Structure 1
Amino acid sequence: MFTVLDVSRWQGRIDWDTVKASGRVHGVMLRALGSRSGTPYIDPMFETNYSACTRLGIPVGIYYYSCAVTAPQRDAELALLHDALRGKRLQLPAAIDVEDARLRALTPDALSALVAGAARQLEHWGLYAMVYTYTHFADTALHMDTLAPFDLWLADYRGKRPARRHGMWQYTSSGRVPGISGPVDLNRTEKDYPALLHRAGLDCTIL
């Protein structure tokens, strides 16, 4: 079992040397894009966190918060994401964060098709695409069969591993890790993603 953090600007400045020395963390999912009133922006701590994790050899993946309800909005998010990722290497998946209430304006079929299109674009870039959401959103706002080709990163804080098939489980938002002041999301996965991505040739530099 591997423990993976996910962090964003809201964790502030992280002492990654202390995180690494704790021996508790096998990887980190960094937020690459946030959203401000539906407009995407590059997380202001992304570059700093990426550089520190890379220096220390902590496996890195990314996620981006999506508010897209149209194909042009989706493509605008992806264009900014590509700018943020150019020249970087990932050892963990690239995840689309699908949870915003605005997304419920679409039917589950329409939203799932939009998300699947974004995931296929991530794969086109040579990344390991993943979809993040929480259990109730998966149950009520998505058509999960459409998203079955992609690993699911599922948030569920009820203390029991979700029955729904998933690649990674976010089991708490109130974890504590040395080097991070305040609570942090913690995730568990049985998949050795760095080895999986390496075997598949998906840990190359993003062009």
Structure 2
Amino acid sequence: MQEKLIDVSTWNGNIDWDKVYKSGVRYAMIRSSFGVENPNQIDNKFVRNIENAIKVGIKCGIYHYSYARSVAEAKKEADFCLKTIKNYKIDLPVAFDIEDSSQTNLGKDALTSIVIAFCDRIKSAGYMPMLYCNPSWINSYLHKDKLIGKYDLWLAHWGVSSPAFKCTIWQYSDSGIVSG
């Protein structure tokens, strides 16, 4: 079943969630946080976005942008994400967004362990974990055989007629616009 889903963060400005809902969007992935715990690392539109999206009936999931360079840091990032989202109804997965260039030199073993550490911490807290990345990351930086099938996948694969991997969410564009 294909449904329209948007992903949003501070970069999308002040969203009119009523207009978004009226445009037919029923699902949103909202950036909660990035990096390790710090008040400045909570997306400054997170509370506004999640409260207003829920208010109009949009089902929400979360994504956390990672800078983790170790399993210990990934666990701290997961704890920070969990603390940030604990007071909200989360209907969709909690995604681990791993794509930062500062991580590319860590190697497949370390990066795969980082993903597993974050996702397992999210799962143990009762949420559905998800990996967000693009085909290049899956092929070049991660042990895909240890991740695909273990966690849901949100694949950023733009400009193609179908995604390179079986995924739960396919981000087919980086430039979509909906009313609101």
Moved over 4 A (4+): none
1:45-104 CA distance string (max 9 Å, x none): 000011101111100000000010112321221222122111211111110001001111
How far, CA to CA, are the matches of 1:115 and 1:35 in structure 2?
14
Instruction: Give the secondary-structure state (helix, strand or coil) at the position aligned to 2:20.
Output: helix
Looking at structure 2, the residues matched to 26 and 159 of structure 1 have their Cα atoms a distance apart, in angstroms, of 24
| Distance across 1 between alignment mates of 2:110 and 2:71 | 11
Q: Distance in 2 between matches of 1:19 and 1:153?
A: 21
Matches within 5 A, 1:69-80: 69-80=69-80
Letter in 2 for 1:173: D
**Other-structure match for 2:173:** 172
Q: How does 1:54-93 map to 2 (within 5 A)?
A: 54-93=54-93
* 1:138 counterpart SS class: helix
The gaps in structure 2 that reach 5 residues or longer are none
Give the aligned partner of residue 152 of structure 1: 153
**Does the CA-based 8 Å contact 1:94-1:122 persist in structure 2?**
yes
Q: Kindly, what percent of the aligned residue pairs are identical?
A: 34
State the match for 1:184 in structure 2: none
2:11 maps to amino acid: W
Q: RCO higher in 1 or 2 (8 Å CA, sep ≥ 6)?
A: 1
Return the alpha-carbon distance in structure 1 between the equivalents of residues 5 and 27 of structure 2: 5
Aligned residues: 176
**Aligned residue type for 2:28:** V
TM-score, scaled relative to structure 2: 0.92
Using the size of structure 1 for normalisation, the TM-score is 0.81
Aligned-pair CA distance for 1:171 = 0.4
Partner of 2:94: 94
Letter in 2 for 1:114: I
Asked if the contact 1:96/1:130 (under 8 Å) is kept, the reply is yes
2:34, 2:45 → 1: CA distance? 11
Residues 12-65 of structure 1 deviation map (CA, whole Å, 9 limit, x = unaligned)? 100111111112x120000001359xx971101000011101111100000000
Structure 1, unaligned runs of 5 or more: 180-207
Q: State the match for 1:31 in structure 2.
A: 31
